[in-house]
C-alpha cells in the first residue's frame, strides 16, 4: 500500500498533471491511502485560505472517497514520537505533523509515501519515498 501526502492531495485539487497522472497509476495498482493528519492539513488549508471553501471541500471529499484514511492511534503516535526523538537527538528536527504522518504510514504497513517533500521525509529510517 502506498500512502499519499498532503502535497499530492493538494496537487490533485489543483489538477496538477503530475499528481493526476500519479493518481491514475495508483488506481491501476489497486489504490492508495492517506492519513488523518493529511486530511486535517488539506481541510484546514481549504477552510482557511481558499475562496469558496464549501465547493472546494466537496472536491476534497470526492478525492477522499477514493482513499483509505489511516487513523492516528496509540501505536502510530508512539512511532511518531520515536521518529521525532531520534531526529532531534541528531540535531535534525522534523515538523510534528510530518512525524505523525510517517508514524501512521509505517505502523499502517505502507510500502512508501508519495510526496514532493522528499527532503522532509527522506530522513526517516524505514520510510521509502516516491515522488509525483
- pLDDT tens sequence across 36-64: 999 999 999 999 876 888 899 999 999 99
Going by pLDDT thresholds of 50, 70 and 90, the confidence category of residue 31 is confident
CATH of 2-130, picked from 3.40.50.1010, 3.40.190.10, 1.20.1440.130, 3.90.980.10, is 3.40.50.1010
Share of the chain above pLDDT 70, in %: 99
CA dihedral 62, 10, 99, 130 (to 10 degrees): 100
Where are the chain's structural domains?
A: 2-130
Please answer whether residues 80 and 103 qualify as being in contact, where contact means their C-beta atoms are separated by less than 8 angstroms. Answer: yes
Give the tens place of pLDDT for each residue, 76-96: 999 999 999 999 999 999 999
The whole-angstrom separation of Cα 10 and Cα 94 is: 21
Three-state SS for 32? strand
Look at residue 27 and tell me whether its pLDDT is greater than 70.
yes
> Alpha carbon of 54 to those of 38, 41, 82: distances in Å?
19, 16, 37
Judging by beta carbons within 10 Å of its beta carbon (0-12, 13-18, 19+), is residue 1 exposed, middle or buried? Answer: middle
pLDDT given for residue 120 in this prediction: 87
Amino acid at each position: 500500500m502506498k500512502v499519499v501526502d498532503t502535497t499530492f492531495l493538494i496537487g490533485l485539487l489543483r489538477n496538477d498533471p503530475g499528481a493526476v497522472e500519479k493518481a491514475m497509476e495508483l488506481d491501476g495498482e489497486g489504490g492508495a491511502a492517506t492519513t488523518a493528519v493529511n486530511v486535517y492539513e488539506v481541510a484546514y488549508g481549504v477552510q482557511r485560505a481558499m475562496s469558496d471553501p464549501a465547493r472546494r471541500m466537496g472536491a476534497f471529499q470526492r478525492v477522499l472517497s477514493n482513499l483509505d484514511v489511516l487513523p492516528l492511534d496509540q501505536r502510530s503516535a508512539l512511532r511518531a514520537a520515536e521518529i521525532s526523538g531520534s531526529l532531534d537527538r541528531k540535531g535534525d528536527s522534523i515538523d510534528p505533523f510530518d512525524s505523525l504522518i510517517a508514524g501512521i504510514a509505517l505502523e499502517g504497513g505502507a510500502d512508501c509515501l508519495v510526496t514532493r517533500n522528499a527532503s522532509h521525509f527522506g530522513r526517516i529510517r524505514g520510510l521509502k519515498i516516491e515522488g509525483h
